Each structure stands twice: as structure tokens, then as C-alpha cells.
Amino acid sequence: MAQRRLGPNYVTAEPMVEALLRQLARMVADELRADVERELRRLAATQLAGNELTCSVTEAAKMLGIDRNTAYAEIHRTGALAGIPVLRIGERYRVSRVAIMQRLMGEQAGEVGTGLLSREEK
């Protein structure tokens, strides 16, 4: 590769290019790793949710480890349960099992802002 004059010394550009390529490769690998981890969490949540796509508020509360009354209070206050939209069908509420599992896996992965209470309320 051609030499470039950088400062008082002659330096080949090749080591600089190699360093930049290594840095770029690390950045791409980190981004791919994050994408793969997100997809694996989504697939695991889907598999754990089973055949039933939705569950009752009582079942959702059990999965989240909270009291059913707390769950209903949260739904009435915000229209959601731990940030998960709740469907109202007639007199019944239904919650997505996949969304619950994704939320729980997000908590385990250390994602912020995914819990029942915001950081300020804790």
C-alpha cells in the first residue's frame, strides 16, 4: 500500500486501515449479536406462551407475580398491564401471553422501563 506522510514520520496507511476494519467488524458483530438476542427472546417467548395466544387477567397476574386486584387496578388506571395492551372482549379482559413473556424476558435481560412501575415510582 502507498505511504502517506503523517507528521514528521512516514507511516504506512495499512495498519490504520486494518485498525479501522477491526473496529468496524466489532461494531457489526455487536449489532448482529443484539439482533440475534432479541430474536431469540421473541422466539422463546412465543414457544413458552403455548397454543393459547391470550390469557385472563388472573393468569397474567400470576405470570407477572402480582395480585389480581393490583392487575385490575393497573388496567383500569392505564388501560394496560405492565405496559402490555389489554384487550377487552365484552365483559372480559384478555392479555397477550407472548407480550407477557417478552416483557418478563426483557426484565431478565436488564432492559429498563419494562416493569409494572416506572423507575420514579419505585
pLDDT digits (tens, 9 = 90+) for 38-64: 888 777 766 765 667 899 999 999 999
Per the domain annotation, does 120 fall within a domain? no
**By residue range, what is the domain housing residue 81?**
10-108
Per the domain annotation, does 81 fall within a domain? yes
| d(C-alpha 32, C-alpha 98), whole Å | 23
Q: Does residue 52 contact residue 97 with C-beta atoms inside 8 Å? A: yes
Largest CA distance in the chain: 80
Per the domain annotation, does 79 fall within a domain? yes
Per the domain annotation, does 75 fall within a domain? yes
Burial class (CB in 10 A: 0-12, 13-18, 19+), 116: buried
**In this structure, what C-alpha cell is assigned to residue 25?**
467488524
In this structure, the number of other CB atoms found within 10 A of the CB of residue 103 comes to: 21
Per the domain annotation, does 2 fall within a domain? no
**In this structure, what C-alpha cell is assigned to residue 112?**
429498563
Report pLDDT for 55: 93
Per the domain annotation, does 68 fall within a domain? yes
The residue type at 24: L
Per the domain annotation, does 72 fall within a domain? yes
Range with lowest mean pLDDT among 32-41, 65-74, 77-86: 32-41
Look up the pTM and report it: 0.51
Per the domain annotation, does 4 fall within a domain? no
Number of domains in the chain: 1
